[in-house]
Structure 1
Amino acid sequence: MTFTLGPTARSAGYGLAAFDQIGSTNAEAMSRARDGERGPMWFVTTEQTAGRGRRQRAWIAPRGNLASSVLEVMDVSPAVAATMGFAFGLAHETALQRVSVEANLRLAGSDQLKYLLKWPNDILVRGQKLCGLLVEAEAMTDGGLAVVAGIGTNIIAAPEGTPTPATSLAALGVHVGAEELFAALSDTWVEFRGIWDNGRGFAEIRKLWLERAFGVGERVAIQTGTAKVEGTFDTIDDTGCLIVRTADGRRMPITAGEVYFGAAASVGAA
């Protein structure tokens, strides 16, 4: 089976560059943008050898997993572009739900899983990391901002020794291929890209994201450089910042950091 766009993505005019193996789909997408590609365009592979997550952590996708990035060039500020990641996470969660339902129908008696969005960029199942997301942006010399949203999904295998324990769809009993999930994602991205609407629809995206968020109302600890913030995960604000309610009742906005929930909050904040 080969990678193909879903029918909605094809109708919306998305391009596709599929690779048997590549270093990083995000890096390839941004390189193409620097060379004049204006998209919208997907870059996808089942084997990524030099992928990166947040804070330049390695994200290696062994053959059979899914690494996919979408390039959008638009006239928005970097701050607005950052909120596109919430729409991208929603698109992937929806795609996972759809292929899981189909897999459930094929395999009678399998569990229906709940995919939850962890701020700022993970998708968890049963408290384990299934996907990692990275949004990057760069101003183009001829105008516009090139925004690349990439996501790595553990289809057949998950890395070991990660800060948050990881899992794969295969380990969860969801037997789908990378190609099937990608086709669904390309279609759901059109849907949520339309809702986000270059940031104008972030209020609706925020609402939908919070409905699927991991840890709302739970104890949370965030390591931001040398500082530590502890409290309760209250919400996200209209810029995408995580809002922590501290023990003394203050509501503190967090723009970035390492996030630990529940029992892990004590470890992460130690």
Structure 2
Amino acid sequence: MSAYYLHDGRNEIGPFSIDLLRKQKLTRNTPIRQLGSDNWLPAEKLAPLKELVAPRKIKKPKDVIPAVKEHLADWQQRKPRLLYGILLLLALIAGVSIYSITKTHSKALPQVTVFSHPQVAVSRPAAPAEPVKPAEEKKLPVVAEDKAKTARSRWNKLISATNSNYGIGFLGGIKDLSVIVSNRTDFPIDVAVVKVTYIKANGGTWKTVPITIYGVPPHDSKEQSVPDVGRGKKVKVNIQKLVSKKMKFSYTEGQKVRNPDDPYVL
């Protein structure tokens, strides 16, 4: 049996039997020599390897021609439908173009103004105007000036200040004391200042304290508590100031009389 060597470009490899040589990666130009020979021949020159390294012929598929024929037949069937679609598209484009041209032309036409006959207004005699009644004068409420003046002149009989019961300490001092302002007029008293005088056991005055009371209603009274003190045996109260806006009344202890007829008018 013949033996062969092959050369891979760097080394000589072998020996191989023809069957083993067929299993190697051979190309058409792989150098091969037979055992006992020094001549290197390309693999395609050796008869046992010629079929192995010869270029393979590409076989044409037998079904290519029938497939082409089938495709052409299908195209022939779809050709009328395609042409119909193209014609329909062209007709649609033409219709849109005609509509656009017509609309543009209609806008360019001048508008015709239609004049109407003027309407003649027929005047009618106006109805006689009704006589305007004079507006009734509103009667203003009469201010009870006389009543207020009477209350101002008699204030010391209608307005009074008193003290409540109170406690006295063993060595002196006043506790639980309140001041009461009574108003028997028809007008509210806005401000009432009452002077509280603390009297010592010997009858002398220890001190005086003003107590202010706000908003005494008419025909009513109002009470105000007084802080406890550590001296004094008894107290005395008297009105120091009075103000009533509705009565137009103002009194201050010791004030000078400006109007003898109505000395306490505001």
Same fold by TM (over 0.5)? no
More relative contact order, 1 or 2 (CA 8 Å, 6+ apart): 1
Q: Which has the larger radius of gyration?
A: 2
Band the TM-score falls in, shorter-chain normalisation? under 0.3
